[in-house]
Chains A and B, each alone.
Chain A
């Protein structure tokens, strides 16, 4: 048991970026264990996906035909069977929204220790060392897992994606799916967050987070956006509270934005937020907490109270 088995992620006809990152992480692990890297893709256009996954560092690609889209009951069964067939030391899964929907079930079913949302991994014999964040990203931890076989989910955008092609063998895996155990049905998809404004088109974004405290205080940042001729966007809690519409939300479940200037005000910089704005040219953060993770990616920062800084900034432009 020295092999690594990684499960690709896809949605609506496309392999998602994390599939290529899983290959990189999986290859690193396999180099340390001295084993092979197996990659599996379940459902969808497996023929095309199988070809796309013949990447540098991959030894075998397993394709499993079963419907078009992700279904967690199917995945849980198929991954369990693949695991038994490949008998890997490490099972790598994506910490995507679909990963959240099957990886814990697989780990439970296989009675494997589960380490989720890791940002780094290393192995020494039968000890896996995983790096994870805790307390909303305020601290990082290393965790040791002492086990022959371990299930891991990796955070997106922590490993570079593997792009170079290789010469992996592609094999079809005949899974035996018990249809009576498929008790959930995906009936459709819907795009949300449309409307009149498209924040991903803006050159300058004034983005507000939970630091604004009250709905009434939003006028303050509206005034700033007006003064700067910028567009107003926000982190998730502002949209959850119904203070701004969904189309203003930046992040993993909102919009990905790449403006010239992104001014994050009272936003801590949670990973799901950062996923939506880290490509901005210039990032400015205004936050009272000097340890807020947003400062890790900010180019400029003001560690101070937004209720003092924002009025002063508005005045500068009036």
Chain B
């Protein structure tokens, strides 16, 4: 069976940064594979190592720069990758869920996998929605916030999973395949790419595709959301800061803690 993993290159802002209009300048951004997708890749690769999946395909919507990130998925064991980008997507501050769904839907239809793994959320845009939206568009089953997959069950055509609810409660659920599962951190222990893996990844295919290649026109991915402002959140508290270097600050904190009876026996 084939497993498809959606992976996003996400941007994290550095400690000090500046906002220009409705975006943050590239110089303050660091790019990395989305944390949740790292766990999704690992889950797919483990299915392959268990002999359950015979092919793992990574898919991303992203500019050329994101190839570096998708290579990481290849270095960890994905067999090949598809990268969708288009002039029509260039310059958008934000790709909304509807646009991402429309694009990924076409790729999944082409690839026809039995299982799609995505992350619970992308760390930068934080929609937490693409996987479930995609499933519905495809007519696939789905489950959100999955922190356990009974690997053997996948072969029977019904995936037995656990969903992590709030407050330390897990829901046990069976979902028919084909399905999209949105993977929660902690489901496994993502591996580091080995040197051999990194070398092999250089030879693996990353197929570039445009909207036209997928049979989509620009109207299908028109952003419905317009960013109108971006700012640093107003801080609601008036925290007291201890300053003067680590030793002095620690001394002041110690005084406070003693005052509160901490550490006193």
Contact = CB atoms under 8 A, between A and B. Distances in A.
A116 interface: yes
B176 A139 contact: no
Contacts of B163: 97, 101
B156 interface: no
Contacts of B168: 191-193, 246, 253-255
B175 interface: yes
A227 interface: yes
Contact of B143 (A101, A138, A284): A101
B223 to A, nearest CB: 9
Given A117-B128, A189-B172, A312-B246, A145 B225 contact: yes
Scoring B101, B176, B224 by chain A CB atoms within 10 A of each residue's CB, the highest score goes to: B224
A309 B254 contact: no
A113 B141 contact: no
B132 A101 contact: yes
A253 B225 contact: no
B50 interface: no
B143 A184 contact: yes
Interface stretch (A31-39, A54-62, A293-301): A293-301
Interface residues of A, number: 96
Given A133-B126, A188-B172, A300-B240, A100 B132 contact: yes
A312 B248 CA distance: 9
A284 B185 CA distance: 27
Interface in A233-292: 236-237, 239-242, 246, 252-256, 260-261, 282, 284-285, 288-291
B interface SS class: mixed
A221 B182 CA distance: 33
B218 interface: no
B127 A117 contact: yes
B135 A117 contact: no
B34 to A, nearest CB: 11
Contacts of B186: 236, 239-240
A246 B96 CA distance: 34
B129 A103 contact: yes
B13 interface: yes
Given A186-B171, A291-B15, A142 B251 contact: no
B125 interface: yes
Nearest to A16: B166
Nearest to A314: B250
Contact of B24 (A139, A296, A297): A139
15 contacts: A72-B142, A100-B128, A107-B98, A108-B133, A109-B136, A134-B125, A135-B11, A187-B173, A190-B169, A192-B169, A192-B170, A296-B233, A301-B239, A309-B253, A316-B254
Interface of B: 11-13, 15-17, 19, 22, 24, 94, 96-98, 101, 120, 123-133, 135-137, 141-145, 162-176, 182, 185-186, 189, 224-233, 235-237, 239-242, 245-247, 249-251, 253-254, 256-257, 260, 262-263, 265
Given A191-B170, A192-B169, 16 more contacts: A103-B132, A104-B97, A108-B133, A129-B228, A138-B232, A139-B230, A143-B94, A143-B228, A146-B224, A185-B174, A189-B169, A204-B262, A228-B257, A229-B263, A246-B168, A296-B235
